[in-house]
Amino acid sequence: MTEIHQSHSANKNVGSILPSIQAWAKAGFYIFPVIGKKPPEQQNFRWSQQATNDPLRVTELWDEYPDANMAIACKPSGLLILDPDEGIDKRTGLLKNGEAELVDALTKYGPLPETFTVRTGNGGRHLYFSLPDGWHVEQAHVTGTRHVDILANQGDHGCYVIGPGSIHPETRRRYEVEVDTEIALFPESHRGLIFGPKALSDNSKRCQTRLQFVMDLLNNVKSPPSRRRFHLPIKSALEGRWEQVFATFCPDVDLNRNGVSVTGRCPVCGKDWKFKVSNDFDKCGGMICFRCHAPGEGGGKDGLTSLSWLLDVETSEASRILNEALDYGFFARQRS
């Protein structure tokens, strides 16, 4: 892949930094402006659509956002970035040591080839690799690690990485090129770091354990099923009771929202900060994981599809389970 020589100028003036930004576009990389680390908040700005390798369009974007940092869209650029996180985890308060985790992960495969590397504004590193043809990445982290992120072509739009020359919004330190060499092809010999069987088996195990728990609950009911006078559709029958449903059937799922939507650990793929519960969750039962992708594959807009996702069953089977639970008197409305 084309070698990039990045300017190290500390001048924020767009006239000074634009030539180095243009070099990325001219080399075929798709770039777009970010404010700090996030795309501009204008309603019509969708980074996956704005990312471009057209130098004229790059000039227009930076005329509009002259103090913006540069982000590189990994999917159209054909990039796979390894991002060993360092520092304090804001959610847990614990130290992240992605560098040590990466060293441990590499003991099975040997060292990675030398490649273009950027020292980030918070002291971490971005290791740039060319994504091999035909690879569609699903994992968010290197196999066996918690703090070595993979930024590649996941999902519909892929990920993006903050490029060199940008300034970290918190530390105010610049992203600097640390190893200025050609971007290496990620080696086939290290494929297991990106496509680890452990991640897939863990996903299935979580769902299977949850389903077995639900079936044991229903099988251990002593009283005979009641005859409900009216059989409303499940979504209507359980409206306003979805928190009770998931607290009963999926007690491992963290629904502690404090009255607002929460973003936390996904109950299926296990990834941090990718799982979100709807604000009106008790009414509709909606939840989604942005790592597991779209509703129905990574959650649902309603409780029925959410439950089928959490148990890894068809919606018809989830509906049967919920109807049986209602017949046995589960999820009774609480009297005021």
Q: Does 44 lie in the same domain as 166?
A: yes
Residue 299 reports pLDDT greater than 70: no
In a domain, 2, yes or no: no
Quickly count: other Cβ atoms within 10 Å of residue 320's Cβ.
13
Q: Output the pLDDT for position 7.
A: 39
Whole-model pTM over 0.75: no
Four-CA torsion 269, 272, 273, 275, nearest 10 degrees:
30
Task: Give residue 238's domain range.
Answer: 197-327
Query: Measured in whole angstroms, how far is the alpha carbon of residue 170 from the centre of its chain?
Result: 22
Q: Does 163 lie in the same domain as 18?
A: yes
Q: Output the pLDDT for position 110.
A: 95
Residue 298 reports pLDDT greater than 70: no
What the block records as the tokens of 306 is 């959410």
Name the most confidently modeled range: 90-99, 162-171, 205-214.
162-171
Tell me the per-residue pLDDT of 21-43, one tens digit each, with 9 for 90 and over: 999 999 999 999 999 999 998 76
In a domain, 125, yes or no: yes
Of 145, 175, 194, which closes a domain? 194
Q: Output the pLDDT for position 278.
A: 78
Residue 275 per-residue DSSP state: E
Name the most confidently modeled range: 89-93, 108-112, 217-221.
108-112
Q: Does 25 lie in the same domain as 95?
A: yes
Q: Which of 265, 272, 270, 318 is nearest to 296 (CA)?
A: 318
Q: Does 248 lie in the same domain as 181?
A: no
In a 13 Å sphere around the CA of 133, the CA atoms on its Cβ side amount to: 0
Q: Output the pLDDT for position 268.
A: 74
DSSP notation for 271-296: -TT-EEE-TTHHHH--EEESSS-STT
Q: Does 184 lie in the same domain as 235?
A: no
Burial zone of 147 (CB within 10 Å; 0-12 exposed, 13-18 middle, 19+ buried): buried
Q: Output the pLDDT for position 225.
A: 60
Number of domains in the chain: 2
Q: Does 286 lie in the same domain as 239?
A: yes
Tell me the per-residue pLDDT of 233-286, one tens digit each, with 9 for 90 and over: 888 888 888 888 988 888 877 765 543 444 566 777 766 656 778 778 888 888
In a domain, 1, yes or no: no
293 versus 311: the higher-pLDDT residue is: 311
Name the most confidently modeled range: 124-128, 195-199, 214-218.
124-128
Q: Does 211 lie in the same domain as 119?
A: no
Q: Does 67 lie in the same domain as 190?
A: yes
In a domain, 266, yes or no: yes
Contact 178, 125 (CB under 8 A): yes
DSSP-derived 3-state class of residue 269 = coil
Name the most confidently modeled range: 119-128, 268-277, 282-291.
119-128
Q: Does 171 lie in the same domain as 217?
A: no
Q: Does 179 lie in the same domain as 205?
A: no
CA pair distance 23, 20, nearest whole angstrom: 5
